[in-house]
Amino acid sequence: MDRSTVTRTAENRLASLTAWDSDWSGLRVVVTGITKTGFSVADTLAELGAKVVVVAASDDDAARRAADTLRIVGVADVILGAASSTVLPLVDGEEAELVVTSPGYKPSHALLAAAAEAGIPIWGDVELAWRVRIRAGRKTAEWITITGTNGKTTTTTMVEGMLQAAGLRAIAAGNIGTPILDAVRDPQGYDVLAVELSSFQLHWCQSLEPVSSVCLNLAEDHVDWHGSYAAYAADKAKIYSNTKIACVYNAEQIETERMVQDADVQEGCRAVGFSTGIPAISMVGVVEGTLVDRAFIAERKDSAVELAHISDIGELVPRHLVANAAAAAALVRAYGLGAEHVSAGLKAYENGDHRIQAVAKAGGVLWVNDSKATNPHAAGASLSAFNPVVWIAGGLSKGVDYDGLVKAHAQRLKAVVLIGEDTTALAGALRRHAPNVPVIDTGRAHTGKEGAAGSPLFGDSLMAQAVVAAAQVAVDGDTVLMAPAAASMDQFSSYAHRGQAFINAVRELLERRASANKES
C-alpha cells in the first residue's frame, strides 16, 4: 500500500476508537514523557491492549522506577535519555499509528515534528481520556471545561465544590493535579468532572463535548511554546468547540466573547456572560455584594435570582476572585445546579496556597504571597487589589512584554524589589513607565536552587534579601506583594517553592523583629 492508503487506514481505525470497549488491541502507539501525565497515558494504553513505546528525556532514578513499573504492566519498551526522545521510534518493528504526547512537549519538538511529517496523528492525554470515558458497566461523567490565562485552578476548584455541595460525585481533574485519565478510570465513576485545561492540552484536543465551558480571560503567555500570541489564543478558543449547553465568556473581555461567536457548538448551546458588575440579560454578575443570575431563569428579562454573597468566599476577595466565582456559578447553573449549591460551594472554598495568600500583618504592613502570578496578567490582577504596593517581582519571563502591566499600575507602586536571574525586560518597563518609582535589585549571585522544594532558605538567600529590602521601604498602610509576573524555574524548583521561600523569609524577619523588640 502507498503512504496515503496507509494513512487513511490508520485514520479510519482511530476514528472508531470512541469508547473503552472499542478495539484498541495491537494499536501501535508512541507516548512522550514518563512523569505524571505520560505514565497515566502509557498505563491506560497498556491496559487497553495497545502496543506502547514510551520515550522520555529524563533518565533519573524516578524515571527508571516508572519505566520498570510500566514494563511490568505491559508496556513494550521504555527509552530514556535526551537523545532518544528526539527520534520517533518504531513500535514492534513498524511505524507508529498514533503518538500521545505530554503537554510539556512543544509542537516543534523533533519527535512530534517527525510524526507530523509522517502523517501520524498526535493526541494529548485529554483527547485519549475523552475517547475512553464510555465504559460498559460504569457511569459516564459529563465534563465541565475551564481554561484561561489566569484563574483556571481557582474556578475549577469552585466548580468542584459546588458540584459536591449538590450531592454529586465530582472531582477536579486535568491540569489541576489529578490526571484526567486517572479520573476517567476510577472504578466507581463520576457524575461530573471539572476539567482544567491548559493551552498545551487544548492544542492536542479534537473531540471533546463539554456540557459547559469557559475561557476566563486571555493575555499574552506561553508565546515560547505556541510560537505566537495568535496561536496561543487559537488554542484557548478550542475550549468552546462542541459545547452542548452553555459557552461562558468574560463580559469584560471582548476577546472571549468573540471566541464564542466563532465557535462551532452543538444545536441549542447558549452564550452566557459573567461579570463583576451588574449583569445584563443572559449573564451572571454582582449586585450590591450579591452574586446573581440573569441567565438560567425564566424571568431573566426583568429579574435575577440571588446565588450567593461575595462574603461567602472569604474576607480577602479581590475583583478577579469575584470573576472566578461568577464564572463557576454560570458553569454549574448550566448543568442545572440550584442557587443553594452555588452558595454552599463558595462557603466551602478555600483559596489555595500561593494565590493572593495573606501571610502576615505587622506594623500596619500586609504581606501577601501570590507566587502563582506567573505572568503579567495574573500579576496585574493582584496589583489592582492593593494600594500602595511594595512589589517583589521578576523571574523567568517566557518572552512576554511588561510595558502594559507597569503602565497600568505605576501609580500604585511605592517601590519595586527585583528578583530573578534576568530582570532586563521588567527593569526596562519600569524605567519607561514608572521612572519615579524606586527599584531595588537584589542581585543574582544567590539562587534558591540549592535547597529542595519547600525548604527554608534564610540568610543571604535571594528571597530573604528581597523581603528585607521590601521591609526597609514599607510602612503602616502599605502592602508588600510578591507577585512575580514570571515563572520560577530560573531560581526555584516551582512557584510553590518560591512562595514558601517568601513565607519563610517573612516569618523569619518578623520573628527577628519581635525578638529584638523584647530585648530592647
**Region of 150 on the Ramachandran plot (φ > 0 left; ψ -120 to 50 alpha; else beta):** beta
The phi and psi torsions of 307 (rounded to 5 degrees) equal -105, -45
Task: Say whether 387 counts as a known binding-site residue.
Answer: no
Task: Say whether 69 counts as a known binding-site residue.
Answer: no
Task: Say whether 148 counts as a known binding-site residue.
Answer: yes
Nearest-angstrom CA–CA distance, 305 and 205: 36
Task: Say whether 518 counts as a known binding-site residue.
Answer: no
Task: Say whether 443 counts as a known binding-site residue.
Answer: no
Torsion of CA 223, 226, 227, 228, to 10 degrees: -60
Task: Say whether 140 counts as a known binding-site residue.
Answer: no
Q: Beta strand pairing status for 413-418 and 389-393?
A: parallel
Confirm if 378 and 370 have CB atoms less than 8 A apart: yes
Nearest-angstrom CA–CA distance, 207 and 490: 36
Task: Say whether 153 counts as a known binding-site residue.
Answer: yes
**Per-residue buried b or exposed e for 484-518, using 16+ beta carbons within 10 Å of the residue's own CB:** bbbbbbbbbbebbbbbbbbbbbbbbbbeeeeeeee
Select from 331, 361, 383 the least CA-distant residue to 163.
331
Torsion of CA 58, 59, 64, 68, to 10 degrees: 70
Select from 217, 161, 151, 154 the least CA-distant residue to 352.
154
Q: Where in 270-318 does DSSP place strands (E)?
A: 270-274, 283-287, 290-293, 305-309
Binding positions? 148-154
Binding positions for ATP? 148-154
